[in-house]
Amino acid sequence: MTTITVNASRKYNINIGDGLLANCGELILKVKKPCIAAVVADDVTDALYGKTVKKSLENSGFTVVSFVFQNGERSKNLETYSSLLGFLADSGLTRTDLAVALGGGVVGDLTGFAAATYLRGIDFVQIPTTLLAAVDSSVGGKTGIDLPQGKNQVGAFHQPLAVICDTSTLDTLHDNIFADGVSEAIKSGIIGDKGLFELLESGEARAKKGKIIEASVRVKAAIVEEDEKESGVRALLNLGHTFGHAVELLSEFSVSHGSAVAIGMVIAAEIAEKLGIAERPVAGRIKNVLEANGLPTECSYTAAQIANAAMSDKKRSGGTINLILPKKIGECVIYKVKTAELKYIIGER
Ligand SMILES: NC(=O)c1ccc[n+]([C@@H]2O[C@H](COP(=O)([O-])OP(=O)(O)OC[C@H]3O[C@@H](n4cnc5c(N)ncnc54)[C@H](O)[C@@H]3O)[C@@H](O)[C@H]2O)c1
Ligand SMILES: [Zn+2]
């Protein structure tokens, strides 16, 4: 087991290892006295791992109650959130009890937000079961739900008490969902770890998942420690996301998040080369690593379509937009452009 400590407003450990699920109760007992543990899972993660988690928690003295909802982004909404809060109240959870998120980013974001707000905040533990959740969403304390008006429109910063990442749970993931997580790991490599990027260049991400998760978590943890609430460098984690969100929107979400971010990273890298910010052949290397991992590098939308969709992104401030551009593999910069110029910058790359 590898343990990475995140020194955010709350200090917590991320435990990464093969087979940790069966000992999750013991790991949680290190940071929390026996109490009521509300395990939140979707129908898929509950069926696969619910029993193991429940048994381990009960063996460590926790009283377990379970909340299960239908898998998928569509459940990350006010309705499920409201049912979950009702469930926590009906189950008699008090301020000293615990929520446990067992699943991917949808379970983590929803459970984290319920934990942030129920009784003005209770402890929660993340048990990520997708690669995306392991390398990205379980780290850093962003929690939230979607509104009909847009994704992640309501949320809170609420750091977990601990993260327990059992790498063997990723073995049951479909390849396309695994690839979505690889896209975020590649992003972490480009932002802050050349060695991680090189590890991914072979395209054997499944075989190297433990190392990939550790390295990605270290990149994200370092950024979160410096800028927990995203007033500065945390924006670097949005590499590929401004254009990625645009592609997701234009495709009416038929292109997955990871695939859209992959395309977005290529657009960002090509812009960076064009502007003389990136050393060549950064864009070429990024394309190759994405292709080696089964991720797309192109889309059929025009520069104007992408620019317009990107400008509806919530991270835009005033008449300018912050682009995250790679300088080289392992280093990115925040580059401000006028929104009016965006489509030309995309088009001329
Ligand atoms: N909080 C953050 O910082 C942050 C960062 C990135 C993404 N996110 C959020 O994360 C969400 C996406 O996360 P995701 O990609 O994990 O989606 P997800 O949670 O919907 O999981 C994807 C699918 O995989 C299934 N699944 C989960 N674990 C499995 C396993 N071990 N074996 C087989 N199937 C399994 C799920 O049931 C689901 O159908 C989005 O809502 C996004 O907004 C949050
Ligand atoms: Zn993302």
8-25 per-position pLDDT tens digit:
999 999 999 999 999 999
Residue 53, pLDDT score: 99
- Residue pair 85/60 in contact (Cβ under 8 Å)? The answer is no
238: annotated active-site residue: yes
- Residue pair 99/38 in contact (Cβ under 8 Å)? The answer is yes
Residue indicated by tokens 């909802």 = 69
Average pLDDT on 95-109 reads 98
Task: Indicate whether 268 pLDDT > 60.
Answer: yes
Residue 63, pLDDT score: 98
What confidence category does residue 288 fall into, taking pLDDT thresholds of 50, 70 and 90?
A: very high
Query: Of the listed 32, 54, 187, 220, which one is catalytic?
Result: 220
* Ligand number, closest to the Cα atom of 47: 1
Q: Is 50 in the pocket of ligand 1 (CB under 6 A)?
A: no
DSSP state of 317: B
Task: Indicate whether 304 pLDDT > 60.
Answer: yes
Task: Indicate whether 84 pLDDT > 80.
Answer: yes
174: annotated active-site residue: no
Task: Indicate whether 123 pLDDT > 60.
Answer: yes
Task: Indicate whether 322 pLDDT > 80.
Answer: yes
Task: Indicate whether 313 pLDDT > 90.
Answer: no
Out of 177-181, 220-224, 285-289, 338-342, least confident range? 338-342
Which amino acid is present at 29? Answer: L
**Could you tell me the CA-to-CA distances from 194 to 215, 299, 332, 345 in Å, in that order?**
10, 26, 12, 27
Average pLDDT on 255-274 reads 97
* Ligand number, closest to the Cα atom of 75: 1
Structural domains of the chain in order of their starting residue, each with its CATH number? 2-172 (3.40.50.1970), 175-347 (1.20.1090.10)
Task: Using the mean position of ligand 2's atoms as its centre, give its distance from the Cα of residue 95 in Å.
Answer: 31
Residue 55, pLDDT score: 98
234: annotated active-site residue: yes
- Single pTM value for the model: 0.97
Average pLDDT on 52-77 reads 98
Residue 133, pLDDT score: 98
273: annotated active-site residue: no
* Ligand number, closest to the Cα atom of 151: 1
What average pLDDT does the chain have?
96
Out of 214-218, 222-226, 238-242, 309-313, least confident range? 309-313
Pairing of strands 331-338, 320-328: antiparallel
Residue 348, pLDDT score: 85
Residue with CA at minimum distance from ligand 1 atom 7: 137
Task: Indicate whether 315 pLDDT > 60.
Answer: no
Task: Indicate whether 29 pLDDT > 80.
Answer: yes
Task: Using the mean position of ligand 1's atoms as its centre, give its distance from the Cα of residue 304 in Å.
Answer: 30
Q: What is the pLDDT of residues 171-225, one digit of tens each?
A: 999 999 999 999 999 999 999 999 999 999 999 999 999 999 999 999 999 999 9
Q: Is 48 in the pocket of ligand 1 (CB under 6 A)?
A: yes
**Could you tell me the CA-to-CA distances from 288 to 61, 81, 266, 285, 296 in Å, in that order?**
50, 40, 10, 5, 10
Instruction: State the alpha helices, DSSP H only, in 60-132.
Output: 78-90, 105-117, 131-132
Average pLDDT on 259-275 reads 97
What confidence category does residue 316 fall into, taking pLDDT thresholds of 50, 70 and 90?
A: low
Q: Is 136 in the pocket of ligand 1 (CB under 6 A)?
A: yes
Give the integer Cα–Cα distance in Å for 250 and 243: 10
Residue 257, pLDDT score: 96
218: annotated active-site residue: no
- Residue pair 342/309 in contact (Cβ under 8 Å)? The answer is no
